[in-house]
C-alpha cells in the first residue's frame, strides 16, 4: 500500500505547478488573472457596498489586481488582510487604488494601520492547492482557518479560493481544524462546493 503524500510534498508540487505558470509567460499569467476575475464576477453576486477581502498577490500567486478592479467597479468595498500576530486571526483594512501600501510581516503588501478596519462578507483566499471537495492547502500558518472560525462566530462569511486551475489536485488531506472552501475560482471555472 502506498502512503498518502504528506503536506510538505504536496506544497512543493503545488508551488512548482503555480510557479511554472506565473514565471513562464507573463502575458498568459495576466490573461489568466483577467479570466479568473470575469469568472468570479459572473458567479458571485456582489451587491454594492459588500465588503470583499482580496489577498495581495505574492510569489507567483494569481494576480488579484483585475479582481480588485472589477469589485471596485461593481461598487464593492475592497479590503486586504493584515497579519497582526502569529497566532491571531487576520484583520481586514479597507483598500483603494490610492491606499499607500506597506510591507507586512512577510513582505506582503498591506494597507497601513490608518486604513479603516472592516469586516468582510466574502473572503478570497490564497492557496497552493485545492481539490474538488473544497479542501485547500495553504502555507501552513493556519491564518485563514483561524480567521474564518473567528468571523463565522458572529456572521456568515463566504470563503472563496482563487488560484490557477493547474493547482487542483484529485484529493488533499484535511484535518479537523481545516475549513473547506465555499467556492473555487480559476481562470477556467467558478464552482460552488
Q: Which residues are annotated as a binding site for substrate?
A: 61
Residue of 22, 30, 28 lying closest to 59 (CA atoms): 22
C-alpha cell at 104: 507586512
Q: CA 179 to CA 77: how far, in whole Å?
A: 24
Q: Which residues are annotated as a binding site?
A: 7-11, 61, 136-144
Sign of the dihedral defined by the CA atoms of residues 23, 140, 166, 29, in that order: negative
Q: Which residues are annotated as a binding site for ATP?
A: 7-11, 136-144
Q: CA 3 to CA 82: how far, in whole Å?
A: 37
Amino acid at each position: 500500500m502506498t502512503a498518502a503524500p504528506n503536506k510538505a510534498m504536496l506544497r512543493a508540487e503545488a508551488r512548482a505547478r503555480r510557479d511554472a505558470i506565473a514565471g513562464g509567460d507573463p502575458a498568459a499569467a495576466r490573461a489568466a488573472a483577467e479570466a479568473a476575475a470575469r469568472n468570479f464576477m459572473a458567479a458571485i453576486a456582489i451587491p454594492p457596498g459588500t465588503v470583499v477581502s482580496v489577498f495581495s498577490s505574492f510569489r507567483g500567486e494569481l494576480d488579484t489586481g483585475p479582481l480588485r478592479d472589477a469589485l471596485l467597479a461593481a461598487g464593492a468595498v475592497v479590503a486586504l488582510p493584515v497579519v497582526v500576530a502569529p497566532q491571531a486571526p487576520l484583520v481586514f483594512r479597507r483598500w483603494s487604488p490610492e491606499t499607500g501600501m506597506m510591507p507586512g510581516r512577510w513582505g506582503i503588501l498591506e494597507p497601513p494601520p490608518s486604513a479603516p478596519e472592516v469586516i468582510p462578507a466574502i473572503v478570497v483566499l490564497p492557496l497552493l492547492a485545492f481539490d474538488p471537495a473544497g479542501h485547500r492547502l495553504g502555507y501552513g500558518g493556519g491564518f485563514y482557518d483561524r480567521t474564518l472560525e473567528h468571523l463565522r462566530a458572529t456572521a456568515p462569511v463566504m470563503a472563496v479560493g482563487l488560484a490557477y486551475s493547474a493547482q487542483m489536485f484529485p484529493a488533499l488531506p484535511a484535518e479537523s481544524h481545516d475549513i473547506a472552501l465555499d467556492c473555487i475560482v480559476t481562470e477556467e471555472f467558478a464552482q460552488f462546493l
